[in-house]
Structure 1
């Protein structure tokens, strides 16, 4: 099992080398990643195998699109994943990738102006190399910055999202083991209480079991951010539950905590059938899968903040709605 501090140092070096001027991403990935690297990215990048392929398909196009690329990191922590019995070591990074939007990315037209792409990544470190990565990024957020509005029915607020209110999310130093255990136990309680939508409590009282009254929920573009339990219930959780049925059980690839921070991701997290309108689009009756990353900050014995990344482009494509194909430059008219 990889030591947490050495795993953090590996990922920090990887990040730093990606930002070296004129660095070749393929060289950087070959240096820091295993030859058998598996990379999970949002649609249209999806799953990629091997460092060179990841560099060619994602990092090089990203660098051409967002020039003078800079990582603005808000949360950084590591842990041994509960999934699989704490045998795997993962390092988590979350924030924005910032640059000058000078060339199209995934068909999104450039602005020539500063742009910030929300991201969160999980890196599994084994034998001194990054062996697996989940790299999630909010492309609809970039669309909004380009003046496009792919989801007309957003129920909460679109924002360039800040880091933790406590400004303590960069856990470069070791953290007390007990704090991470407490945080992970709270996240597991929340999953058990919210995961199946059948507690018998009101939605607000169900949330109050694990969430602070003034919780902050930093959702993806297309859904938006919301604040306090009542507004979260009104602006996201309630509409989401009303739109879906036949929700599957939650399934995670990794779930870990360090200090007051925790996170998980699934590929997919769960599936559900769209039986009502969602995000301004009509019901399809089809089952779709949700690729999700959740990052949490614990304050005392409650969850105070939650940052969420959902591959909405993948979900809607599975429903027969190809958002990227509808972008202006892809319109044959």
Structure 2
């Protein structure tokens, strides 16, 4: 399969949505999405069903807040869900929404200046309609852009996340199936070998099984981005593992690859107990949920770049803290 029809559907959907007036967005959703469309969004939007609900609960307020809204893609790919027993085709894009922050959103005051909101979006296509979507937004990164401080100091760097170094990830044309198979194999090896933190190896040796030495980890606001295995181990992986115990198994909804790129999302990916404390919260024996997107670039037989989205607002809500509500008070 070349997935071209599904790609063209999503690109047409994006174009129609970007060109629609505020009063027309609901009609766009109804045209491209099924009546029972399952839509997942980060906190506070969570799970919605059907075009009318998605427009009312999320899109109408979002598009009103950010004038002259653009979707600036760094990655666009499609593939068959490796986790499904039936043939499921998914289309994924990643990049930033760019706009002028002209009206309040989620209690965040507008700046009337340009902002960039990092996103990753997965769409399942069936019979010419979008039937399932997961949209991850890095809302804390937006909060930090406008001068708020939703979390304590990060362990890694807060930066605007660029797209892949080769600038070849907007794959509107079909890619060799053999390359996608190699990428998926590299992702699966990383998950099976390292995903449960039980390899018994020193951390940097464990990471080197799946990652190039000069890897880049583009993490979410609250954790940050880091570069090279050594710094990734020190600035994220090591501190994160030290903060948590009793990690559950991995639960992904969708996982696929195309060309040198691939990724997955979970709802949740895993649960874990913050027995060492995390994001300024004290240690707890209450398991928290991690809804996560990981998107990867492969070089040769190992992974070299990783863009990560974690719904940290939802995680903290499971621990009893509503960050959005707190910043409004």
Provide the TM-score with structure 1 as the length reference.
0.97
SS in 1 for 2:19: coil
Maintained 8 Å contact 1:155/1:279: no
Question: Does 2:15 align with 1:16?
Answer: yes
Q: Aligned partners of 1:267, 1:301: CA distance in 2, in Å?
A: 28
1:37 corresponding residue in structure 2: 37
**Match runs of 1:71-220 below 5 Å:** 71-85=71-85, 87-220=87-220
Q: Aligned partners of 1:154, 1:285: CA distance in 2, in Å?
A: 23
Maintained 8 Å contact 2:2/2:174: no
1:304 corresponding residue in structure 2: 304
Give aligned pairs, total: 328
SS in 2 for 1:44: coil
Q: Aligned partners of 1:11, 1:175: CA distance in 2, in Å?
A: 17
2:315 corresponding residue in structure 1: 315
Question: Does 2:5 align with 1:6?
Answer: yes
Q: Aligned partners of 1:316, 1:38: CA distance in 2, in Å?
A: 24
Q: Cα deviations across residues 277-311 of structure 1 (Å, max 9, x unaligned)?
A: 22233212210110001000001111010000100
Over 3 Å off, 4+ runs: none
Extract unaligned runs of 5+ from structure 2.
none
Q: Aligned partners of 2:102, 2:262: CA distance in 1, in Å?
A: 35
Q: Aligned partners of 2:308, 2:105: CA distance in 1, in Å?
A: 22
Q: Aligned partners of 2:281, 2:228: CA distance in 1, in Å?
A: 26
Q: Aligned partners of 1:85, 1:75: CA distance in 2, in Å?
A: 26
**Deviation larger for 83-92 or 253-262:** 83-92
2:59 corresponding residue in structure 1: 59
Q: Cα deviations across residues 169-197 of structure 1 (Å, max 9, x unaligned)?
A: 10000100000001000000000111111
Provide the TM-score with structure 2 as the length reference.
0.98
Maintained 8 Å contact 2:273/2:285: yes
Q: Aligned partners of 2:294, 2:18: CA distance in 1, in Å?
A: 26
2:287 corresponding residue in structure 1: 287
Q: Cα deviations across residues 296-330 of structure 1 (Å, max 9, x unaligned)?
A: 00011110100001000000011011101111xx2
